[in-house]
Structure formats: C-alpha cells, structure tokens
Chain A
C-alpha cells in the first residue's frame, strides 16, 4: 500500500506522480489531500484525467483493489478497516484537518506494518509528521518531499524536525522510488 499525503502546493506533484505510473502499476495508492469542504469536490475526476489508473473517491467500506488510486473524501477521516477495505470516520478534526494525514498514516501502519510506504508532500501545516514517525515505528517506509523543492516547505520540514525519514527525495526521485516498488 502507498499513501501520499499533502496539503497546500502538493496537487501538481500528485498529478506528476500519478501521471507517470504505468497502466499496469498494481500497488493500490491512497491520496490524502487537505481540501476545503466547499472547494474541489471533484478531485477524483480531476485526478482521473491525469492518469491511466482507475481513480475512485472512497465510500465507507470501499474494497481495496490492485491497480486503483483512491482519494479520501472531504470532511471525513479515512481509516483502514483491514487489508481489503477502507472505513470512514467523522470525528474531531486533527491538526485542524479532516481528512487528517496523521490519522490515515497511523491506521495504515496498524494494518499494513512493513508493507506500507507513506509519502509526505508540500503543505503549510504540521499534519503528517506524527503519522510518519508512527509508520516508521511499525516498520513501514517514510518518504518526505525535499523541502528545497516543495512549493510550501513547512510540512516536509516539520516532518524532518519531529523525526527522521527513511528518504528525503526530489519529485523525480520519488517517482523512481515508486516505480521500483512495483
């Protein structure tokens, strides 16, 4: 499982990463982006125009299938019920965010352990930092977009301040890294 989390300034990078995944890329990818509930409600449709993979916005207990890209819906936290399905949660915001990247990273680590890669991109909020540490403590792999390159460096920087990352990479390196996982 690959989870990509991001906030302000991360959308272009998500486009780039998904756009460069080959059609037969079969590891499921989950995208957790902070969104204004009144803002782009059609993020999944937008992402679908950038990639050959199937893109779905998650509904409660959505089954997890190979070769699909899943998008967290606005105003819910996305959790993993088990290795084969998601579960949504409408509880308090975490780090002023719902969806919160920390929440999804942690839940992913509980369910997938060392079969999880979490990638944290640009943003103006510290969400994701705590989650990445938790992922590492559960033997998952953490990747942080290089603050030098990220459009808004705060989020990746906070992650590096609060813990270590397995990899700090430019976006082309993140792409190579993802392709090697397959």
Chain B
C-alpha cells in the first residue's frame, strides 16, 4: 500500500460518515470495530487520493457507484481456500461424519467473501460422498464479492498454496482435478457449485432465513464490536439446529457472548462449538 495519507480523521468524522452511509444507503456500520473501520477509511483516502475527509463524505452521499466501491473496500474480502488446514482436518474427520447421519445437510457460510471457503467445504462434502444431499448457503453483504464467488474462478497463482492446504487438511486426491487452468485463472468444476446458493445477506440488518446443522462465520466477527458480535451470535443461535455446529475463525471466541452457556467447544482449541442446549 502507498504511504498512509496525512489527513487526520477524528472519531466525530467517523461517526458522521457512518450516519451518512446509514441514511443514504441503509448499511449500518455503527457497531463495527472502530479500529478496523478507521483503517479501512484511511486506506480509502490513500488509494483514491482524496484531498480531504469532506470529499469522501460528499462522494459517499452523492455517487452510488463510488459508494459501491466504498462497500467493497470496507468489507475486507481477503480469504483463502482451506485456510487453516488443521481446522478443515477437524471438519473432515469430526464434523462431516456427524453430518452424514442427516438425510439432508444444510450449511451456511456467513460472510463468504469471494467464495473460497464454501468451495473448500463443497470439496470435502464431495469427497465424503455427501454433496448430492447437501445445500450450502453462501452469503455476504458485498455484492461484488458474491459476483466473483458465483463464477468460481480464482487466481491460478494461489493454487500451489491451496493444494498444500488441501494436503495438510487430509486431502488425498489430486487437487488440480477440481479446476481447469485457463491463463491466469483456475475455474472450479461446476459440479461443486451446483449445491451452493449465493445470496446477499447483511448480518447487521437481515434476519435468520433457515435452520442449519453447520454455520461457518470465519473472520467476520473480528470486524464488529462486542455488542454487535453478541447480536450476530444470537442470530446464529436462532439459525442453528440443536446439536448443530458453529465454526468461527481461529482467533474468534464466543466466550464473552450470551450464547456461550449453550455451547460446548468440540476439540481443544479449535474454534468449533456444538449447540448442546
């Protein structure tokens, strides 16, 4: 990234911007972690070479196309396939066998970004012979990220890393059999995406829309403050069947939330909880 700009942003500035966005576009960032939100705004000002904070506010209020770009920048869509292989190994060995006992498997990937996570899960379900009886809902608030996810086309340069992750997560097939290489891109097998439903869903403003046996929400809660984390965890609790699993990012925890007493961490330190009440 270029050098951070010298424009000083106050807490009041951030509050004004958040109010503008809420009033004009309906997105509510008021309970996002202020520290991360500030970084995103500072980054925007730098990459767009804005001359002042007022210019940012003006463009956000008046230019819908610019606002779409702002949403894309605020929502950090950094992701990977089979990120944290040890986590996927547990999904493969400990969770999928439980899912197998259901006649119909429903999984929700909340905050799926550009889709790498849900494709990873589709591969694991396929290898367990369960994909045909599964439905994976992959949602995000960012429409541009979802559009990429629907295509299932990822940079070829990442495949070496993903293939390594795949093997570390207990994969035994040839990872390259899941995609076709095309110039700089790897286009994933459409048989993997047949059972994925991509939809726009905002965890702050939208409601529970189904019930699931497994919910992934990895590296999304870190962008929220504690109040919002608690509200979103309640939304997951409402959307999770009894005995269902909740999978968070490696540094996320439900311990400070009101749903904690109803959940049990399944294995050691991995951030997977089972709903026991």
* Cβ-based interface call for A103 (8 A): yes
Residue in A closest to B225 when the chains form the complex, CB atoms: A81
Chain B interfacial residues counted at CB < 8 A: 25
Q: Is the CB of A73 within 8 A of B35?
A: no
Which single member of A60, A91, A110 contacts B78 (CB below 8 Å)? A91
Q: How far is the CA of A106 from the CA of B3 in the complex (A)?
A: 13
Which A residues are CB-close (under 8 A) to B4? 106, 130, 134
* Cβ-based interface call for B163 (8 A): no
Q: Is the CB of B35 within 8 A of A80?
A: yes
Interface flags, A100-112, vs B, CB<8A=1, else 0:
0001001100110
* Cβ-based interface call for B253 (8 A): yes
Q: Is the CB of B35 within 8 A of A89?
A: yes
Q: How far is the CA of A92 from the CA of B75 in the complex (A)?
A: 12
**Known A61-B229, A130-B3: A88·B222 in contact at CB below 8 Å:** yes
* Cβ-based interface call for B252 (8 A): yes
Q: Is the CB of B251 within 8 A of A58?
A: yes
Within the complex, the shortest CB–CB distance from A112 to chain B, in Å, comes to 12
Which single member of A59, A107, A134 contacts B253 (CB below 8 Å)? A59
Which single member of A61, A87, A91 contacts B76 (CB below 8 Å)? A91
* Cβ-based interface call for B195 (8 A): no
Which B residues are CB-close (under 8 A) to A87? 33, 35-36, 222
* Cβ-based interface call for A46 (8 A): no
Q: Classify chain A: how many residues form its interface, as a range.
A: 20 to 34
Which B residues are CB-close (under 8 A) to A92? 1, 76, 78
* Cβ-based interface call for B38 (8 A): yes
**Known A79-B33, A80-B35, A130-B3: A73·B222 in contact at CB below 8 Å:** no
Interface flags, A74-91, vs B, CB<8A=1, else 0:
001101111001011111
Residue in B closest to A63 when the chains form the complex, CB atoms: B256
Q: Is the CB of B251 within 8 A of A88?
A: yes
Interface flags, B16-39, vs A, CB<8A=1, else 0:
000000000000000001111011
Q: How far is the CA of A81 from the CA of B249 in the complex (A)?
A: 18
Which B residues are CB-close (under 8 A) to A91? 36, 39-40, 76, 78
Which A residues are CB-close (under 8 A) to B38? 110
Q: Is the CB of A103 within 8 A of B39?
A: yes
Besides A61-B256, A73-B251, A92-B78, 5 more A-B contacts (Cβ < 8 Å) are A58-B251, A59-B251, A60-B251, A89-B33, A94-B1
